[in-house]
Amino acid sequence: MTVAVDVLRPAGKERVHEVVTPEGVRLQFAIARVGDRIGAFLIDAVIIIVSSILIVVAAGAATGFDETGGWLWAFVYVALFLLQTGYFIWFESRGHGTTPGKRRMGIRIMEAEGGALTVEAITVRNVMRILEVHLPLIAILAPEAFWESAPEWARLLASVWLLAISALPLFNRNRLRAGDIVAGTVVVTTPRTNLEDDMGGDAPIRRRAQRAPAHGFTDEQLDIYGAYELQVLEGVLRRLDRGQADPPLLQAVADRIAAKIGWKRKIGRRDVGAFLSAFYGALRARLEQRMLLGKRKQDKHTPES
Q: Which amino acid is at 81?
A: F
Prediction pTM value: 0.60
Residue 88 pLDDT exceeds 70: yes
Structure letter (DSSP) for residue 244: -
Residue 17 backbone phi and psi in degrees, to 5? -110, 125
Report the 10 Å Cβ neighbour count for 82.
12
| DSSP letter assigned to residue 299 | S
**pLDDT tens-digit map of 119-177:** 999 999 998 888 777 777 766 666 666 666 667 777 677 777 777 877 787 788 888 88
Q: Give 211-252 pLDDT, tens digit per residue.
A: 555 567 888 888 888 777 777 787 778 777 776 667 777 888
Distance (Å, whole) CA 175 – CA 189 = 12
Decide the pairing of beta strands 25-30 and 16-20. Answer: antiparallel
Report the SS3 class of residue 282: helix
CA 28 to CA 32: how far, in whole Å? 13
